[in-house]
């Protein structure tokens, strides 16, 4: 049966949507500087990584996640946890790249995000080939659809998303309802929750709700896990075929989802307003020309005028060859310039065009 979600637009949903749109449009006209982007984007990614993995049992603290991602730290008996956060962080980067494609949502996008977040590989993963179940301790609380029904259900979900975009259904509604339906289908044995959250964020980013990548919905989910689980628990039976196939009332989950968006967007709006009061200049048009890695490396240039390939190695946790390739590519693209051409001591600086992105920040930094 085609996915045809049932929901009621409640006063809370209307209020949340209104708040989301106000924040979104205010942020478009408010100044978004390189220093703000570097700080908030990185904070948002780290927060998303920490909270989304913590929801499913990752034991690393927020500070430890930051150390693993940025410093390559290792903690005793935490190898699995470390791999999880690295994979999720990488999946967030790939999600941004997928969102920039002008094409419609594809099933392969979902499979790719799952492959990265689950195994850290950029190969799409196939759906499960057997039955799974969601348990609380030893108690089965939900039995998803049979494996043979997963491909048609997922194909139908993707079709519903793309049709809904054409029909001008509000994007936050589409993202929230897609999150719910993905979790209901539970197309994989593992990592369904993380993939559902990445999938919803992909929809938001692709269709105008990226907010420059500087917000984290996962923090909202993790702040009250029971409310998240309660919102996902919809239907009159623990079996998909009894309580979900005919279409349960999804008003509760939709309300929960858009309230979380409103909360997250409001935080970013307040930050942008603060920048406006400080007289910051909007640099977002120039920033949009940069890749996620280039926007990220701006943070490195906030503390130094010149960097080496070795600095890039440590910053992105790459090997020497990958770092040298990146530097060569960025010089070719006009993002970097060679400052010291000597092979052994070669240094790079931002080209004049992009140095302007961080100049304001450096000018405001007090001399020591």
Does residue 1 lie within any of the structural domains?
no
Stretch 280-287: mean pLDDT: 61
Does residue 282 lie within any of the structural domains?
no
Does residue 162 lie within any of the structural domains?
yes
Query: Do residue 109 and residue 18 come from a single domain?
Result: yes
Does residue 5 lie within any of the structural domains?
no
Out of 18-22, 111-115, 242-246, 275-279, which region has the weakest mean confidence (pLDDT)?
A: 275-279
Query: Do residue 121 and residue 189 come from a single domain?
Result: yes
298 vs 336, more confident: 336
The predicted model scores a pTM of 0.75
56 vs 196, more confident: 196
Q: What is the pLDDT of residue 345?
A: 80
Average predicted confidence (pLDDT) for the chain:
84
CB 55 within 8 A of CB 221: yes
CB 65 within 8 A of CB 50: yes
Query: Do residue 124 and residue 200 come from a single domain?
Result: yes
CA-nearest of 254, 177, 353 to 12 is: 254
| Residues spanned by the domain of 136 | 11-277
User: Binning pLDDT at 50, 70 and 90, where does residue 245 land?
Assistant: low
The domain total for the chain is: 2
Query: Do residue 69 and residue 47 come from a single domain?
Result: yes
pLDDT tens digits, one per residue of 61-95: 988 988 888 777 788 888 899 998 999 999 998 99
Query: Do residue 240 and residue 296 come from a single domain?
Result: no
* Per-residue pLDDT at 60 exceeds 50: yes
Does residue 191 lie within any of the structural domains?
yes
Query: Do residue 327 and residue 208 come from a single domain?
Result: no
CA-nearest of 351, 354, 348, 201 to 289 is: 354
Residue-wise burial string across 290-304, b where 16 or more C-beta atoms lie within 10 A, e elsewhere: bbbbbbbbbbbbeee
pLDDT tens digits, one per residue of 319-344: 888 899 999 999 999 999 998 777 77
Last residue of a domain, one of 244, 277, 310: 277
Query: Do residue 34 and residue 132 come from a single domain?
Result: yes
Does residue 232 lie within any of the structural domains?
yes
Last residue of a domain, one of 229, 249, 277: 277
CATH classification of the domain holding 297: 1.10.10.10
Query: Do residue 329 and residue 193 come from a single domain?
Result: no
Query: Do residue 79 and residue 197 come from a single domain?
Result: yes
Convert 291-303 into a string of H (helix), E (strand) and C (coil): CHHHHHHHHHHCC
Stretch 227-243: mean pLDDT: 77
* Per-residue pLDDT at 363 exceeds 50: no
User: Binning pLDDT at 50, 70 and 90, where does residue 368 land?
Assistant: very low
Query: Do residue 342 and residue 231 come from a single domain?
Result: no
Structure-block tokens of residue 145: 């659809």
Q: What is the pLDDT of residue 364?
A: 42
Does residue 284 lie within any of the structural domains?
no
Query: Do residue 268 and residue 309 come from a single domain?
Result: no
Stretch 237-243: mean pLDDT: 76
Does residue 344 lie within any of the structural domains?
yes
CATH classification of the domain holding 117: 1.10.3290.10
Out of 111-115, 227-231, 251-255, which region has the weakest mean confidence (pLDDT)?
A: 227-231
Last residue of a domain, one of 240, 255, 277: 277
Query: Do residue 201 and residue 248 come from a single domain?
Result: yes
pLDDT tens digits, one per residue of 168-211: 899 999 999 999 999 999 999 998 999 999 999 999 999 989 87
269 vs 265, more confident: 265
């Amino acid at each position: 049966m085609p996915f045809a979600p049932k929901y009621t637009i409640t006063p809370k949903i209307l209020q949340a949507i209104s708040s989301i749109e106000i924040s979104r449009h205010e942020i478009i006209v408010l100044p978004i500087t390189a220093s703000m982007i570097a700080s908030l984007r990185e904070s948002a990614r780290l927060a998303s990584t920490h909270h989304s993995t913590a929801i499913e049992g990752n034991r690393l603290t927020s500070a430890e996640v930051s150390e693993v991602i940025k410093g390559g730290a290792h903690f005793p008996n935490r190898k699995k946890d470390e791999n999880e956060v690295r994979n999720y962080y990488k999946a967030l980067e790939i999600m941004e790249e997928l969102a920039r494609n002008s094409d419609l949502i594809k099933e392969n996008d979902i499979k790719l995000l799952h492959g990265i977040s689950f195994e850290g590989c950029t190969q799409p993963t196939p759906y499960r080939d057997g039955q799974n179940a969601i348990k609380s301790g030893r108690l089965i609380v939900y039995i998803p659809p049979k494996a043979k029904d997963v491909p048609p259900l997922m194909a139908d979900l993707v079709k519903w998303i793309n049709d809904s975009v054409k029909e001008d259904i509000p994007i936050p509604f589409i993202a929230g309802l897609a999150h719910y339906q993905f979790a209901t289908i539970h197309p994989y044995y593992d990592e369904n929750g993380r993939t559902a959250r990445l999938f919803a964020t992909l929809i938001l980013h692709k269709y105008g709700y990226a907010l420059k990548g500087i917000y984290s919905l996962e923090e909202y989910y993790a702040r009250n896990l029971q409310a998240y689980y309660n919102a996902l628990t919809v239907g009159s039976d623990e079996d998909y075929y009894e309580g979900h196939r005919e279409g349960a009332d999804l008003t509760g989950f939709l309300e929960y989802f858009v309230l979380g968006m409103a909360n997250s967007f409001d935080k970013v709006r307040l930050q942008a307003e603060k920048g406006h009061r400080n007289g910051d200049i909007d640099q977002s048009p120039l920033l949009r020309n940069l890749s996620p890695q280039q926007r990220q490396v701006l943070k490195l240039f906030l503390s130094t005028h010149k960097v080496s390939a070795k600095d890039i190695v440590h910053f992105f946790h790459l090997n020497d060859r990958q770092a040298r390739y990146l530097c060569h590519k960025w010089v070719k693209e006009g993002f970097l310039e060679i400052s010291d051409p000597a092979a052994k001591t070669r240094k790079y600086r931002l080209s004049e065009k992009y140095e302007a992105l961080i100049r304001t920040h450096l000018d405001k930094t007090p001399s020591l």
